[in-house]
Amino acid sequence: MHKWIWFAVFFGCVSFSLAKPMPPFPMQHIQSNGDTLTFYQRGDEFEHYKETLDGYILVFCDKDLCFANSQGENSGIKASDKRDAAIQKFLNGINKTEVRKIYLQEKMEKRSRRPYGSFLKTDKGVLRKPSAESWTKGEQTF
């Protein structure tokens, strides 16, 4: 019994020791059209996101990184370090802190805990309780 406890403690410590934040230095990504994009990765191994050097949230779209729109979703505008007037106008209409807040809140909702119960049930996690009839018949389950 003690071996199993120490085994669980050991692997629990190993998983916590591997937890680390994202690297603090800028990274580069070459888009499919040849443009270069420099960005930061923020967060840790569980919750992380990408943002440009000036703070705009980036999301993936078909192997490329695109800017997030005001709802924190893919805008379809490919990100790059060189920006023309149309992209700059789009970015000026975005509140960076609100988009980050919406985007992270949406990611947390996707990761929210599933209801208890079997994943094979279709009744959204409602646990099956024994009926009074089954208890009075002398069923041997607890």
- Between 41-45, 113-117, 122-126, the lowest mean confidence (pLDDT) is in 113-117
**Confidence category of residue 110, pLDDT binned at 50, 70, 90:** low
Is the residue at 17 inside a domain? no
Is the residue at 69 inside a domain? yes
Is the residue at 89 inside a domain? yes
CA 10 to chain centre: 27
- Between 15-24, 86-95, 99-108, 133-142, the lowest mean confidence (pLDDT) is in 133-142
Q: How many domains does the chain have?
A: 1
d(CA 80, CA 87): 10
Is the residue at 93 inside a domain? yes
Phi-psi region of 74 (alpha: psi -120 to 50; beta: other; left: phi over 0): beta
pLDDT at 17: 67
Mean pLDDT, rounded, for 120-142: 59
Mean pLDDT, rounded, for 50-58: 91
Map residue 140 onto helix, strand or coil: coil
pLDDT at 112: 59
Provide the residue range defining the domain that includes 93: 27-113
Is the residue at 142 inside a domain? no
Share of the chain above pLDDT 90, in %: 25
Asked if residue 132 lies in contact with residue 78, where contact means CB atoms within 8 angstroms, the answer is no
Is the residue at 58 inside a domain? yes
Map residue 21 onto helix, strand or coil: strand
Is the residue at 55 inside a domain? yes
Is the residue at 12 inside a domain? no
Share of the chain above pLDDT 70, in %: 70
More confident call, 77 vs 126: 77
Long-range contacts of the stretch 26-33 (C-beta < 8 A, 24+): 26/53, 29/65, 31/64, 31/65, 31/78, 31/79, 31/80, 32/62, 32/63, 32/64, 33/64, 33/78
